[in-house]
Amino acid sequence: MKQPVRIAVTGAAGGISYSLLFKIAAGEVLGSDQPVILQLLEITPAMDALRGVAMELQDCAYPLLQGVVLSDDPTVAFKDADYAFLVGARPRGPGMERKDLLEANAAIFSVQGKALNDVASRQVKVLVVGNPANTNALIAARNAPDLDPTQFTAMTRLDHNRAVGLAANKTGFATPTINRVTIWGNHSVTQVPDLYHADVAGEEAVDAVGEDWYKNTFIETVQKRGAAIIDARGASSSASAAQAAIDHMRDWALGTYEGDWVSMAIPSDGSYGVAKGIIYSFPVRCAFGRYEIVQGLEINDFIAGKMKASEQELIEERDAVASLLPAETEAHLEN
């Protein structure tokens, strides 16, 4: 039997975690031969609810689940963590401006970045799900000077999966026949769902769905899918978000399929002219626990304009929390 790996999850009594934890414990991230220890973080008032979730985890009698740690202290929950899903975040309250939301989350993610820096495994892989996910990931990374910034990522996989699902629904082909879809930019309505490099059952995806429909319906449907689900369900997407988080971490750890790629928000290295350092979603291929940006794609003017707008939004988000960001260390500047 392999040694267990430690997987930290924040916001562990919340909606997404109520799906996510059970998938992790069932072996969906690292496979059915990898034991796991779950290390769950919540805010103090939610600890009772968290104990209830832990009872249910125990009641599933998962063969791979070797331990569950509950805490309201990030230095306990992140201790020796090999993987960290940062799901908990401060939601937008009544009368809260965008800047207030960014600042409230900056406070949370700076504490969590420092704790990861101090106690997590030196190889920890971090996925930020809690919104505004890209900028929260930037804040966590900047507060973890001893870790490599590339260890911090944010989730655009739900947007990627939504794009694949929508193209499958439109064409009638199964999702495994749809390859090389890309989400560029921020996990927000400025995100850019790009089908120009994708194909559906061997045909160029834009032709398969029709370019008018792609430009006038597809893009906006993917961008606004979160709001559509809230309108319909009266609650935000949690099962699909949990599945996307599993997919993101599994592919990062175990690799992407030959001939395909996935979308991950990662620290920009300047590829495609995107400002260095911001956490921007790119097409990536993963192997051996590492990701690499897919290079050399031709970007047409239609997509390039949208990519710039999303980049601009992320620069504005970064600038709004600039006073709370520690100066970049040399290790960070090299990246």
Which residues 6+ apart lie within 8 Å of 243 measured at CB?
19, 23, 161
335 is in an annotated binding site: no
Contact (Cβ atoms closer than 8 angstroms) between residue 30 and residue 5: yes
Query: Applying CB under 6 A, which of residues 135, 179, 237, 281 lies at the interface with ligand NAI?
Result: 237
- Smallest gap from residue 93 Cβ to ligand NAI (A): 12
Burial class of 84 by CB neighbour count within 10 A (0 to 12, 13 to 18, 19+): buried
Of 153 and 179, nearer to ligand NAI (C-beta) is 153
Task: Say whether residue 11 binds ligand NAI (CB under 6 A).
Answer: yes
Of all helices (H) and strands (E), which one includes residue 165?
Answer: helix 157-171
Task: Say whether residue 10 binds ligand NAI (CB under 6 A).
Answer: yes
* Main-chain phi, psi angles of 95, to 5 degrees: 75, 5
- Smallest gap from residue 319 Cβ to ligand NAI (A): 21
- Smallest gap from residue 187 Cβ to ligand NAI (A): 5
- Smallest gap from residue 32 Cβ to ligand NAI (A): 26
123-140 b/e with 16+ CB inside 10 Å = b?
Answer: ebbbbbbbbbbbbbbbbb
Q: How far is CA 4 from CA 25, 31, 39, 67, 326, in A?
A: 11, 12, 12, 9, 34
Q: Total residues at the site for ligand NAI (CB under 6 A)? A: 28
The one segment of 167-175, 199-207, 234-242, 279-287 that binds ligand NAI by CB under 6 A: 234-242
Q: Angle at Cα 286 formed by Cα 280 and Cα 287, nearest 5°?
A: 150
List the strands of the sheet with 199-200, edge to edge.
Answer: 178-179, 199-200, 203-204
Task: Say whether residue 140 binds ligand NAI (CB under 6 A).
Answer: no
Separation CA 246–CA 87 (nearest Å)? 12
Task: Say whether residue 43 binds ligand NAI (CB under 6 A).
Answer: yes
Task: Say whether residue 131 binds ligand NAI (CB under 6 A).
Answer: yes
Task: Say whether residue 155 binds ligand NAI (CB under 6 A).
Answer: yes
Binding mask 73-92 for ligand NAI (x = CB under 6 A): --------------xxxxx-
* Main-chain phi, psi angles of 219, to 5 degrees: -60, -50
Q: Is the peptide bond before 132 cis (omega within 30 degrees of 0)?
A: yes
- Judge whether 160 counts as a catalytic residue: no
Separation CA 282–CA 182 (nearest Å)? 7
The three-state secondary structure class of 12 is coil
- Smallest gap from residue 318 Cβ to ligand NAI (A): 17
- The per-residue DSSP string of 206-262 comes to HHHH-HHHIIIIIHHHHHTHHHHHHHHHSS---HHHHHHHHHHHHHHHH-PPTT--E
The one segment of 114-122, 201-209, 232-240, 255-263 that binds ligand NAI by CB under 6 A: 232-240
Of 8 and 274, nearer to ligand NAI (C-beta) is 8
- Smallest gap from residue 48 Cβ to ligand NAI (A): 11
Task: Say whether residue 13 binds ligand NAI (CB under 6 A).
Answer: yes
Binding mask 191-210 for ligand NAI (x = CB under 6 A): --------------------
Task: Say whether residue 16 binds ligand NAI (CB under 6 A).
Answer: yes
Positions marked catalytic: 187
Residue numbering of the annotated binding site: 11-17, 92, 98, 105, 112, 129-131, 162
Question: Which residues here bind ligand NAI, judged by CB under 6 A?
Answer: 10-11, 13-17, 41-43, 46, 87-91, 108, 129-131, 133, 155, 158, 187, 236-238, 241
Residue numbering of the annotated binding site for substrate: 92, 98, 131, 162
